[in-house]
Amino acid sequence: MHAVQPSQLRNIVITGHTGSGKTVLCESLALSMGVINRLGSIDEGNTLSDYSSDEIQRKHSLNTSLIHGFWNDQKINIIDTPGLLDFHGDVKSAMRVADTVLITVNASTGVEVGTDIIWDYTGEYYKPVMFVLTKLDAERTSFNNTVQELRDHFGHLVTPIQFPAEEGLGHHTLIDVLMMKQIEFSPDKPGSMTISDIPDLYLKRAEEMHQELVEAVAETDEELMNRFFEVGNLTEEELRSGIKSALVTRTFFPVFCTSPLHLIGSERLLNAIVNLCPSPIERGPEHTICTVNETETLLQPDPLGPTVAFIFKTMSEPRVGEISFLRVYSGHLETGHELIDVQTGQVEKPGQVYTMLGQKKIPVEKLLAGDIGMVVKLKDAHTNDTLADKGTLCRVSPIKFPIPVLATAIIPLTQGDEDKISSGLHHLHEEDPSFAIDHDVEFNQTILRTLGETHLETIISRLQAKFNVKVDISPIKIPYRETIRVASSAQGKYKKQSGGRGQYGDVWVRLEPAARDSGFKFASEVVGGVVPTRYLPAVEKGLHEAIEHGILAGYPVVDLKAVAYDGSFHPVDSSEFAFKIAASMAFKAAFDKAKPFLLEPLYALTVFAPDQYTGEIVGDISSKRGKILGMEADVRMQIIRALIPQAALTPFHHALTRLTQSRARYTYTFSHYEEAPPDIAQKIIAEKET
């Protein structure tokens, strides 16, 4: 396949809430471009973009996939993305390298959770957006209601380009108010689009919507506004030019109509992609970071410039190994091209360069600036790495993945599989950086942090399928702490005689409460040599060992000062070992008298939720012993700030998902330790005793 110039490229990512028709839209566009000869089915598991075994099994997109085709001599790269919120890491990585975002909206359900969240991503990356209404041939659809919802959520700049002549069963005709024509489609027949004049029945509505379109586009450009005032209208060509410019500046968001399952609207949408969506040249230079002084630089999409390519997705395939999806931002990329991984300085020499058609790899001579493809046989480069010609000191700004919030411990089902689990998770993390792996040293637990339960299930399933490792899950253990309320003193005396040389250590220790988060401090007030100086380090060591496993429930003891102030020794039998044991005995005796209590970790919680859910969320936080610190409004969301016990975080995750149908999101960070309520403390102590 020949190389394609940047001006002939359109890089599109298709996103949307789960079930909004993304994958079927990809199929419909592929069939219309002649890439495939029949429409695949999600139920039959034979779609172009959902080809992995877990996607076929779950009947949902779980991975980013890339297809391409040609339309009117322009190459269109289309990235299909998952709709499930648990896999939005792939959505963000695909959006990072696309030039235009198509957000699919089910016309029978309207704006949903994923629609809102994806819209926020487009603002973060400052990407042009087109809305594509799907399933207009389904029952209970409402074009008007859906457009109004879009405007309510995303502002008055949302403007329809088309409206359906009829909705529901039998839908096959669109009225296009940009072209001011009627477009008819023969359902299920590619290449059947016919264009004719608008019938009188729809003409008045079309004229009104055309006027709205003209005014919306004119408002985005001073020259077009002057032209509109002079003539009272804009030509179709002026509208196209204005829309393209306004897409780039995010001052116009067009709405298109489709029924992908029956190929209705697909050819018109392809025309719009070619005529309205910006090429890499029109989208403009990429912002990069100079590695010398960390300043921002602009990288032009010039095929003759230095090669700079960015890896946005890493996957591994049986018998192939690791494959890297990338976009070339400058220069060109070809097989054997020697490059430097800007992050590590490692030399990389990619194997064959491909462009993708789902799982099918099509070898290409080279990829030019602006194009998207795939390479194999990279040594160490992974997602978020920039490959560049030697001496090119800039890197593409990395993808900011969603923060994983659901923490779960995993346990090998087969003893001795720990190394295999670690290796497998490492490889899976290279494919999906949106989950995190931690090792809790205190409890010797491997902790997975995921975006949700489905995300967790998928990682565990892939761990078994790819690395033949089975694991079980369990709740993470909470790092409670123990401390004291009042000062107390006790003697620790260790005396042992066993026929030969004995053991003798005698020390008095005073425990004093200290400020929260001050840890543990040791001091000596021994005078007169009653405890020789050489044994004081052993006393301190004995105390340190004692606080590592507390008395109440076996948790470390914190926030106290231990003072050795008296004791005695034997000139023959005393030893460091004896004084270490004596110090431990003194600590335990004094600790019991110091009114000990349990501390629990509290986390600062920030919840972003639609206003209608705030009452239930606040109630749930309070029911989980959380403390509401305040609330504030932020555009379409309410922000709730609270403190919540760590033990309540996982139950809160499940409750929030249920209460808001996943419309809310949250973050948390460790705040401080606080005294656990007596009933909670008693329960924890009882669990340790059993």
- Report the CATH number that the domain containing residue 321 is assigned in CATH: 2.40.30.10
Burial class (CB in 10 A: 0-12, 13-18, 19+), 533: exposed
Q: Give residue 95's pLDDT.
A: 96
Is residue 2 assigned to a domain?
A: no
441 and 391 within one domain: no
Q: Give residue 690's pLDDT.
A: 65
646 and 555 within one domain: no
Q: CA–CA separation, 173 vs 456, rounded Å?
A: 43
40 and 18 within one domain: yes
293 and 371 within one domain: yes
Is residue 3 assigned to a domain?
A: no
Is residue 344 assigned to a domain?
A: yes
pTM over 0.75: yes
240 and 104 within one domain: yes
Name the domain boundary from 595, 611, 639.
595
Q: Give residue 71's pLDDT.
A: 96
Q: Name the pairing type of β-strands 445-450 and 173-176.
A: unpaired
Name the domain boundary from 344, 376, 396.
396
Give the dihedral sign, CA 665/670/674/680: positive
Quote the Cα angle for 463-469-471, to 5°: 85
Name the domain boundary from 259, 283, 307.
283
230 and 114 within one domain: yes
246 and 124 within one domain: yes
422 and 372 within one domain: no
CA 223 to centroid of chain Cα atoms:
41
Which residues on adjacent β-strands are paired with residue 16?
A: 104
Q: Give residue 267's pLDDT.
A: 96
Q: CA–CA separation, 336 vs 352, rounded Å?
A: 7
Q: Give residue 677's pLDDT.
A: 95
Number of domains in the chain: 5
Give the dihedral sign, CA 319/321/324/325: positive
- The CATH number that applies at residue 442 is 3.30.70.870
Nearest to 42 by CA among 66, 18, 16: 18
**Structural domain boundaries enclosing 585:** 481-595
Nearest to 526 by CA among 578, 483, 562: 562
For 359, phi and psi rounded to 5 degrees?
-90, -5
The rounded average pLDDT for each run of 10 residues, N- to C-terminus, in the chain (690 residues) is 92 94 93 90 79 75 90 96 91 96 95 91 95 92 95 95 91 95 92 94 96 94 90 90 95 96 94 97 86 80 95 84 92 93 92 91 94 91 93 89 94 88 90 93 93 93 89 94 97 85 93 93 94 96 94 95 96 94 97 96 95 94 96 86 96 94 91 95 86
Q: Give residue 188's pLDDT.
A: 86
Q: CA–CA separation, 357 vs 29, rounded Å?
A: 13
Which residues on adjacent β-strands are paired with residue 54?
A: none
- Alpha carbon of 555 to those of 104, 447, 480, 597, 674: distances in Å? 51, 19, 6, 11, 15
